Amino acid sequence: MATPAHLSLLFSKPSPPHRVLAFPKTGSNPHKKARFKCLASQSGFFTRLGRLIKEKAKSDVEKIFSGFSKTRDNLAVIDELLLYWNLAETDRVLDELEEVLLVSDFGPRITIKIVESLREDILAGKLKSGSEIKDTLKRIVLDLLIKKGNKVDLQLGFRKPAVVMIVGVNGGGKTTSLGDTFRAAASDQLEIWAERTGCDIVVAEKEKAKASSGLHTNYSLMEELIACKKAVGKVVPGAPNEILLVLDGNTGLNMLPQAREFNEVVGITGLILTKLDGSARGGCVVSVVDELGIPVKFVGVGEGVEDLQPFDAEAFVNAVFS
């Protein structure tokens, strides 16, 4: 069952390039001196933020590459299958390719779509070598990711401040992804993460304050998420700008039911897939985008400050099918 959502406000200045702030409790003392200065009203802020995220994705390709090493090792057998491929062995090779993709959690629907597309091109004489088959395999996967999950940039709009709501189940990787918690002793953890990342921080004045105030303790957690979303909208009209769901990559295709439920309740706009560095099931990235049509915005490939990476479809494909 899901824990209450985390709420973050994004601000910026030239250095550091971003700020991650815990959403303060409604009703805080308006005369208390704020511990941050909001620079979001500066002209071109969101354009610069989007550019910084894209630049980071391009500069950290090596981190993505190493982060998907286990999935890549799992798929390395494809090279062996295609090395001595010939037309007479097409059925055997494609059957084995299908098995490899399924083991890496590409999912039945995606796997069949890939294999049948390759079979059609082979029989039509369009693919005549193992290298051509692999190149086409990579192109098919990339096209799937781009077609159904093309809005990978954060959609922060023009209204300030921008609010990003984060949801997910226990142990999914929310804290590691954002350095943000909302439970007992959370303030101490927030202070530590703010220091690590060079961010200013705003916290609720009272201990044990919830992100959304006035909720009955007997409400279900999913109902609390709805209340959180409404509470944010009352404070910042039009918010949240994004609702991101954090999913544990180790769960593979089991993440799909979670994603469907959260999407029905609060309307997910993007995904953060975590712990992919420890999983050989990286194919779930393709499956979740194809099944839900929700873009992956970030991937977690470690527990360091720099290990939350903007998702780049082309870098992902090259990382798992190198």
Reported as a single tens digit per residue, the pLDDT across 229-272 is 998 888 888 889 899 999 888 888 888 888 888 998 899 999 99
Alpha-carbon separation of residue 189 from 35, 168, 180, 184 (angstroms): 17, 19, 8, 10
CATH T-level topology, domain 57-196+216-321? Rossmann fold (3.40.50)
Determine the pLDDT at residue 213: 44
Beta carbons within 8 Å of 116's beta carbon, 6+ residues apart: none
Determine the pLDDT at residue 171: 76
Structural domain spans, the chain: 57-196+216-321
Determine the pLDDT at residue 271: 92
Check residue 264 and give left, alpha or beta (phi > 0: left; psi -120 to 50: alpha).
alpha
Residue 87 C-beta-side C-alpha neighbours within 13 Å: 9
Q: Give the integer Cα–Cα distance in Å for 127 and 188.
A: 58
Beta bridge partners of 310: 298
Given the structure tokens 């511990």, which residue do they identify? 35
User: How many Cβ atoms from other residues are within 10 Å of residue 166's Cβ?
Assistant: 21
User: How many Cβ atoms from other residues are within 10 Å of residue 113's Cβ?
Assistant: 16
Q: Give the integer Cα–Cα distance in Å for 1 and 168.
A: 9
Q: Give the integer Cα–Cα distance in Å for 48 and 269.
A: 21
| DSSP secondary structure letter of residue 34 | P
Determine the pLDDT at residue 251: 84
Beta bridge partners of 165: 7, 243
Determine the pLDDT at residue 119: 95
Encode pLDDT of 163-193 as tens digits. 888 888 877 777 777 766 445 455 676 677 7
The three-point CA angle 116-83-318 to 5° equals: 70
Residue segments in the chain with a per-residue pLDDT below the cut of 70:
1-67, 149, 179-187, 189-190, 201-219, 279-280
Q: Give the integer Cα–Cα distance in Å for 230 and 285.
A: 30
Beta carbons within 8 Å of 198's beta carbon, 6+ residues apart: 15, 16
